[in-house]
């Protein structure tokens, strides 16, 4: 299970990183979302991966660490709000600058690059 | 009430922020009054905390009475009290300035401003690594909205960069926190420091990776060399009171580096002790050099001030990189001076831009200003202070830092820091003479500036002579702070003494 988990996290963060480095705002926002998924998965695993662990400490040796779950919950909420904000900002940038380039190219630039 | 004092710098802005958002359609003067009143109250609270902390006692506030290392704690020591005081004074200047009309250019300025204060204060007080992340997010979310306050193309464009970079930074922060939790099993900074001293050898690689990842995140906030490119444009395009408040944001990064690497990776951490030092030292010198070039090349007054913020970040981080109590004491004094003066310069640049009409803050010939004389006088004081000319506070701060450098470090620090000072003098005198003297003949333009704007700028710039007059007590305090930071055992035992070892 560990290797599957690690590969999933790795593929997600690689895709996220690649998309974040793109030049247009839509792939960047999607990339940031993927990156935050990867981070959430990673946070889950930081208490160690266990199966069939008890939810709370009840004197047994075998219980799941509750802290990563609380942290992931916080991270998900914050990540969600941030993604919503980034989407709105990207739309606003598209509207105000007339294109969806992260660096906000002017019209002449984009026409030149098309030639 | 008195035992809840430590949590007030977080709770007061939170409550005021919510109230101010609820009354968004209320009368302007009511909102302004509430906002200024709350910030003034924050200054008083910070003063009480400063007096409490100056005795050297380390106090903590366990939220919900869950004792550390399990509960979330807010820790008050000399450093955090000093930073809260600095934040509240800077915020008071900014909010008074904003009442001159900037707050009405968009919606919800005062509410967002209070949320930003809550995030900054929380980041300074928290004793928990994950909570540091949460407060970073609070202050960032508020800063995204404040950066966009008033709208405009350049703001949106710089905000896209700022938001995307900081979101990526937050992801890195979470990964670093996850790695450190996985390796040490705790998130409380004091507890983590205690556990690092008995860390199994096979985990030290993991902890090193986590620690250096954290340095990247804090470096992004503090604008260290390869990670500063977002700063000049964002700061130059932000509305004036927001840009002035942002002067403290790079210092949040500097504070986080100071706190985490002196407490968690302090003297107890064995081979991991001060693992940040070589990285911070060389990159800080690089930042200083790059910012010096930026200062000389800037063709706009606001951009020039943004690069001066970068110079101050480089100087502070060089102090962190020296890693001695004397250097820490010097850098804390310099931090007080530079935050307030660069904040004041941002406000002043905006006032100059208002009076010059179309020429704005670009350093080109423009029309003469109605209140040019007074503005020029204030600009002269601010420029002398920020370039580090005696008799103002910049000179003392830089002298303390230069003096703290050890022989091997002097060869690098002295030339770079002194040349950056010289470049600042050249750039500022060129800017000042163009703005105030090389004006076209013609009618004096611009309406008279509101009194609140003068008050805000005056408050921030008055800090420079005040810091000189009180240099004795202030430098005593910063020296005591540096000693407290150099002996993290006191903080660890204050937090963990009641419980003994964690299971």
ipTM at complex level: 0.89
What average pLDDT does the segment B292-318 reach? 94
Tell me what the pLDDT averaged over chain B comes to. 89
Q: Does A90 touch chain B (CB under 8 A)?
A: yes
- In this structure, is residue B499 part of a structural domain? no
Kindly determine whether residue A97 and residue B156, on different chains, have CB atoms separated by under 8 Å. Answer: yes
pLDDT at B501 over 50: no
Query: What is the Cα B140 distance to its own chain's centre?
Result: 13
pLDDT at B225 over 90: no
pLDDT at A14 over 80: yes
| Highest-scoring range by mean pLDDT, B23-32, B99-108, B460-469 | B460-469
Instruction: Give the pLDDT band of residue A111 (cuts 50, 70, 90).
Output: low
pLDDT of A56: 65
* CB contacts, 8 Å: A101 with chain B: none
* pLDDT tens-place string over residues B227-273: 899 899 899 999 999 999 999 999 999 999 999 998 888 877 777 77
pLDDT at B435 over 50: yes
What average pLDDT does the segment B128-144 reach? 92
pLDDT at B298 over 80: yes
pLDDT at B421 over 60: yes
Domain coordinates in residue numbering, chain A: 2-114
Q: Does B161 touch chain A (CB under 8 A)?
A: yes
- B172 cis-preceded (ω within 30 degrees of 0): no
What average pLDDT does the segment B304-310 reach? 94
Q: Does A64 touch chain B (CB under 8 A)?
A: no
Phi, psi of B128 (to 5 degrees): -130, 130
- In this structure, is residue B501 part of a structural domain? no
pLDDT at B407 over 90: no
Instruction: Give the pLDDT band of residue A114 (cuts 50, 70, 90).
Output: low
Q: Which residue did the predictor score with more confidence, B389 or B498?
A: B389
* HEC per residue, chain A: CHHHHHHHHHHHHHHHHHHHCCCEHHHHHHHHHHHHHHHHHHHHHCCCCCCCCECCCCCCCCECCHHHHHHHHHHHHHHHHHHHHHHHHHHHHHHHHCCCECCCCCHHHHHHHHC
User: What percentage of residues in chain B have a pLDDT greater than 70?
Assistant: 98
pLDDT of A55: 66
- In this structure, is residue B215 part of a structural domain? yes
- In this structure, is residue B151 part of a structural domain? yes
Give A58 to chain B, closest Cα distance, Å. 14
What average pLDDT does the segment B10-25 reach? 88
* pLDDT tens-place string over residues B342-381: 999 999 999 999 888 788 888 888 888 888 889 999 999 9
Q: What whole-number distance in Å separates Cα of residue B330 and Cα of residue B401? A: 5
pLDDT at B78 over 80: yes
pLDDT of A103: 81
Q: Which residue did the predictor score with more confidence, B441 or B30?
A: B30
- In this structure, is residue B498 part of a structural domain? no
What average pLDDT does the segment B30-54 reach? 93
* CB contacts, 8 Å: A68 with chain B: 178, 181
Q: Does A86 touch chain B (CB under 8 A)?
A: yes
Number of domains in chain B: 1
Domain limits for position B50: 2-493
Q: What whole-number distance in Å separates Cα of residue B382 and Cα of residue B449? A: 19
Kindly determine whether residue A74 and residue B130, on different chains, have CB atoms separated by under 8 Å. Answer: yes
Which bin fits B76, alpha (ψ -120 to 50), beta or left (φ > 0)?
beta
Instruction: Give the pLDDT band of residue B102 (cuts 50, 70, 90).
Output: confident
pLDDT at B502 over 50: no
Instruction: Give the pLDDT band of residue B274 (cuts 50, 70, 90).
Output: confident
pLDDT at A108 over 60: no
Q: Which residue from B283, B266, B284 is spatially nearest to B275, judged by alpha carbons?
A: B266
* CB contacts, 8 Å: A36 with chain B: 167, 171
- In this structure, is residue B500 part of a structural domain? no
* CB contacts, 8 Å: B237 with chain A: none
What average pLDDT does the segment B458-462 reach? 93
- The residue among A9, A61, A67, A94 with the most chain B CBs within 10 A of its CB, best to mutate, is A67
CB A40 within 8 A of CB A76: yes
Instruction: Give the pLDDT band of residue B474 (cuts 50, 70, 90).
Output: very high
pLDDT of B122: 95
Instruction: Give the pLDDT band of residue B500 (cuts 50, 70, 90).
Output: very low
What average pLDDT does the segment B4-29 reach? 88
CATH architecture of A2-114: Orthogonal Bundle (1.10)
**The pTM of the whole model exceeds 0.90:** yes
Q: What whole-number distance in Å separates Cα of residue B220 and Cα of residue B234? A: 14
Instruction: Give the pLDDT band of residue B101 (cuts 50, 70, 90).
Output: confident
Q: Which residue from B187, B188, B147 is spatially nearest to B164, judged by alpha carbons?
A: B147
* pLDDT tens-place string over residues B140-185: 999 999 998 888 888 888 899 999 999 999 999 999 999 999 888 8
Kindly determine whether residue A46 and residue B178, on different chains, have CB atoms separated by under 8 Å. Answer: yes
* CB contacts, 8 Å: B141 with chain A: 81-82, 85
Give A86 to chain B, closest Cα distance, Å. 7
pLDDT at B397 over 60: yes
pLDDT at A112 over 70: no
């Amino acid at each position: 299970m560990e290797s599957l988990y690690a590969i999933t996290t790795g593929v997600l963060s690689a895709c996220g990183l690649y998309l974040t480095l793109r030049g247009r705002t839509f792939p960047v926002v999607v990339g940031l979302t993927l990156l935050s998924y990867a981070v959430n998965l990673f946070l889950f695993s930081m208490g160690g991966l266990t199966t069939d662990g008890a939810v709370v400490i009840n004197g047994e040796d075998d219980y799941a660490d509750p802290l990563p779950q609380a942290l992931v919950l916080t991270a998900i909420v914050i990540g969600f709000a941030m993604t919503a904000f980034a989407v709105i900002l990207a739309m606003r940038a598209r509207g105000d600058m007339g294109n969806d380039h992260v660096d906000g190219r002017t019209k002449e630039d984009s026409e030149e690059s098309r030639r | 009430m008195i035992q809840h004092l430590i949590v007030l710098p977080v709770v007061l802005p939170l409550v005021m922020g919510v109230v101010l958002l609820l009354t968004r359609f209320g009368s302007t003067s009511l909102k302004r009054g509430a906002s200024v009143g709350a910030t003034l109250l924050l200054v008083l609270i910070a003063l009480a905390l400063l007096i409490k902390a100056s005795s050297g006692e380390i106090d903590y506030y366990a939220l919900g009475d869950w004792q550390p290392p399990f509960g979330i704690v807010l820790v008050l020591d000399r450093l955090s009290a000093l930073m809260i005081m600095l934040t509240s004074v800077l915020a008071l200047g900014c909010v008074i300035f904003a009442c001159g009309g900037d707050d009405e250019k968009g919606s919800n300025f005062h509410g967002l401003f209070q949320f930003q204060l809550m995030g900054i204060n929380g980041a300074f007080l928290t004793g928990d690594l994950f909570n540091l992340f949460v407060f970073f997010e609070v202050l960032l979310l508020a800063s995204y909205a404040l950066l966009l306050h008033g709208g405009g193309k350049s703001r949106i464009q710089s905000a896209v960069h700022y938001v995307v970079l900081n979101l990526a930074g937050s992801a890195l922060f979470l990964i670093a926190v996850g790695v450190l939790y996985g390796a040490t099993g705790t998130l409380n900074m004091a507890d983590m420091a205690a556990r690092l001293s008995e860390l199994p050898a096979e985990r030290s690689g993991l902890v090193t990776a986590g620690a250096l990842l954290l340095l990247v995140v804090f470096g992004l906030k503090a604008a260290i060399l390869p990670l500063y490119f977002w700063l000049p444009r964002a700061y130059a395009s932000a509305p004036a009171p927001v840009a002035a408040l942002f002067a403290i944001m790079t210092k949040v990064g500097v504070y986080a580096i100071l706190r985490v690497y002196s407490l968690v990776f302090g003297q107890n951490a064995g081979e991991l002790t001060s693992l940040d030092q070589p990285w911070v030292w060389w990159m800080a010198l690089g930042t200083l050099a790059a910012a010096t070039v930026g200062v000389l090349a800037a063709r706009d007054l606001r951009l020039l001030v943004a690069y001066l913020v970068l110079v101050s970040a480089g100087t502070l981080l060089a102090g962190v990189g020296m890693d001695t109590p004397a250097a820490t004491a010097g850098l804390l004094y310099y931090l007080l001076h530079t935050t307030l003066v660069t904040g004041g310069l941002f406000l002043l640049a905006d006032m100059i831009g208002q009076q010059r009409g179309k020429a704005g803050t670009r350093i080109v010939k423009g029309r003469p200003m109605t209140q040019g004389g007074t503005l020029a006088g204030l600009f002269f004081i601010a420029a002398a202070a920020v370039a580090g000319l005696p008799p103002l506070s910049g000179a003392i701060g830089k002298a303390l830092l230069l003096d703290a450098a050890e022989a091997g470090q002097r060869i690098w620090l002295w030339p770079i820091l002194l040349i950056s000072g010289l470049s600042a003098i050249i750039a500022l005198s060129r800017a000042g003479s163009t703005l105030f003297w090389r004006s076209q003949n013609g009618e004096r333009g611009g309406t008279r500036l509101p009194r609140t704007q003068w008050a805000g700028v005056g408050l921030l710039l008055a800090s420079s002579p005040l810091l000189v007059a009180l240099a004795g007590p202030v430098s005593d305090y910063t020296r005591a702070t540096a000693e407290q930071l150099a002996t993290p055992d006191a903080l660890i035992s204050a937090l963990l003494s009641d419980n003994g070892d964690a299971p």
